[in-house]
Amino acid sequence: MTKVVEISPTTRLEGHSKLTLKVDDQGIVERGDWLSITPVRGIEKLAIGKTMEQVPKIASRVCGICPIAHTLASTEAMEASIGCEIPTDAKLLRIILHAANRIHSHALHNILILPDFYIPGTEKKFNLFANEQPARSVMARIVRIREIAQTIAAIAGGEAIHPSNPRIGGMYHNVSPRAKQKMADLAKECLVLVHEQMEFMLDVIRNMQNREFVEVGGKQIPLPKKLGYHNQGVMATAPMYGSSSLDDNPTWDFTRWKETRPWDWYMGEVTIDLEDPSYPIGGTTKVGTKANPQMESCTGVPTYDGQPVEVGPRARLATFKNFDEKGTFAQHIARQMEYPDCCYTILNCLDNLNTSGKVLADHIPQGDGSMGWAANEAPRGSNIHLARVKDGKVRWYDMLVPTTWNFPTCSRALTGAPWQIAEMVVRAYDPCVSCATHMIVVNEKEKIVAQKLMQW
């Protein structure tokens, strides 16, 4: 008999989300809904009427984790709308900034997932904050990788967290030859560390894949071989940086994207009739509580060719590098495999960077209201910003951030997993829930959503 269990909030990810799960007698998920419960903030509306220079600054604040990805995607969406090509050296600095962002974000994600995993060859779960080895040296390595990547980001982007150097038309400043050398030295040191980290993580992940059970809340939970499998497609715009509507051959198609209402996608009202007080942390939702994912979800459901798609490292590797593994562990593996590429990208860009080259376009048009979009491959996947700029002012703005794409796909991928490890499936997407939260305005027939629901 189907029962409903709810995990709310989910933990060790960014922002607030929850899982409403219909499970069978064995506790296996028959249908899972993963939804954002971070309040809707209406960032796109706030952008309207602001100058094209202001909006990237605003966009960078939607989340504390990926200001770099949002600054770059937003800036380039403005440039795409006004038709402004930027100098090569400015682009190189942006790619360096972007790759550094991916390194420190992936390293952060290692911290978030490792407590789910076992130290290879032992029955001991990882506690990165323990003093014993290997936890201590792994944590020290992760911290150093993050320190290096943030420092490279600070040099190329002007600041480590909210990059101040990118601007419409290019960058404010080029870097000095000394700064270029410093970035190269750091990237070389980082390359050694990320190789070690990648190999370590691959061991840990493969070790987990070979396990039959995982312990959650003091119970042994079977670990399915096809954990996190789904039949949806993948979407990626580039292996490393991204694409925009200014490209000769853009790798994302605006016309293939549609946004559906959450109440056409998620399950309706259900009553929780299964609870487990021993589930970490603090147990699941109490029996008798009502849940209504259709009404509670704070994101729209974006589709590509009419279907939800997966974005992120596995999608990038599947699209561009013939990576053919599927599921939760494949996502983890793909993420680790991206580490060295980021360092090589930084080193290649530095090789080509002319520190005397100009970094600002000669002419910055003010825009005629044309639609422009820019996608960058943020650590979590395709981060697409769309804008219409006229006379220097933003007339329309939208953000299709990675986790928005992944919410419905991951919901499908929950089917077949024991409910106690549903959070492991979610975490593999490296969710960034806060910036994924935005209000949709049209349904699949381009109609405005019901007024009653807008008021809610």
Partner 1 sequence: MESLYSEIVVAGCGNPLFADDGFGPAVVEKLKDLELPENVTVVDAGLGGPHFVFTLLNPESTKTLIIVDIADFGGEPGELRWLSVDELPVGSYRDAHSWDLTEPLQYIKDDIRVRVLACQKKYVSSPEMVIGITDEVQRAIPDAVSEILKEIGVNYGTA
Interacting residue ranges for partner 1, rule: CB under 8 A: 11-15, 38-39, 41-43, 46, 58, 60-65, 67, 104, 108, 112, 143, 146-147, 150-151, 154-155, 158-162, 164, 175, 179, 182, 434
**Rg over CA atoms, the chain:** 22
**Cα atoms in the 13 Å half-sphere on the side-chain side of 360:** 12
Supply the minimum distance, in Å, between the C-beta of residue 60 and partner 1. Answer: 8
Select 12 or 31, whichever has its Cβ closest to partner 1.
12
Select 299 or 319, whichever has its Cβ closest to partner 1.
299
Select 104 or 167, whichever has its Cβ closest to partner 1.
104
Select 15 or 166, whichever has its Cβ closest to partner 1.
15
CB neighbour list of residue 81: distance below 8 Å, 6 or more residues apart: 52, 367, 369, 370, 371, 372, 387, 388, 389
Supply the minimum distance, in Å, between the C-beta of residue 17 and partner 1. Answer: 12
Whether the bond between 115 and the residue before it is cis, its omega within 30 degrees of 0, is no
Supply the minimum distance, in Å, between the C-beta of residue 438 and partner 1. Answer: 11
Supply the minimum distance, in Å, between the C-beta of residue 160 and partner 1. Answer: 6
One DSSP character per residue, 209-258 reads HT-SEEEETTEEEE--TTTT----EE--S-SSSEEETTSSS-SS-GGGEE
> Long-range contacts of range 440-448, CB-CB < 8 Å, 24 or more positions apart?
440/259, 440/260, 440/261, 440/299, 440/300, 442/259, 443/260, 443/261, 443/264, 444/258, 444/259, 444/260, 444/264
Distances (CA, A) of 438 to 62, 100, 310: 10, 27, 19
Select 143 or 448, whichever has its Cβ closest to partner 1.
143
Structure tokens at 52: 């094209």
Give the max Cα distance, the chain: 70
Angle in degrees, CA 81, 82, 87, rounded to 5: 110
Select 15 or 300, whichever has its Cβ closest to partner 1.
15
Select 106 or 230, whichever has its Cβ closest to partner 1.
106
Rounded Cα distance, 339 and 193, in Å: 10
What are the backbone angles phi and psi of residue 368, rounded to the nearest 5°?
-120, 15
Rounded Cα distance, 449 and 294, in Å: 13
Are 331 and 228 in contact, with CB atoms under 8 Å apart?
yes
**Which residues of 254-332 form beta strands (DSSP E)?**
257-260, 270-271, 290-291, 301-304, 309-310
Select 112 or 221, whichever has its Cβ closest to partner 1.
112
Supply the minimum distance, in Å, between the C-beta of residue 150 and partner 1. Answer: 6
Rounded Cα distance, 319 and 321, in Å: 6
CB neighbour list of residue 290: distance below 8 Å, 6 or more residues apart: 269, 270, 271, 272
Supply the minimum distance, in Å, between the C-beta of residue 122 and partner 1. Answer: 27
Supply the minimum distance, in Å, between the C-beta of residue 159 and partner 1. Answer: 6
Supply the minimum distance, in Å, between the C-beta of residue 387 and partner 1. Answer: 18
C-alpha closest to that of 348 among 239, 251, 245: 239
Rounded Cα distance, 62 and 33, in Å: 24
Select 151 or 209, whichever has its Cβ closest to partner 1.
151
Supply the minimum distance, in Å, between the C-beta of residue 173 and partner 1. Answer: 9
Supply the minimum distance, in Å, between the C-beta of residue 108 and partner 1. Answer: 6
Select 37 or 236, whichever has its Cβ closest to partner 1.
37
Select 150 or 345, whichever has its Cβ closest to partner 1.
150
Supply the minimum distance, in Å, between the C-beta of residue 155 and partner 1. Answer: 6
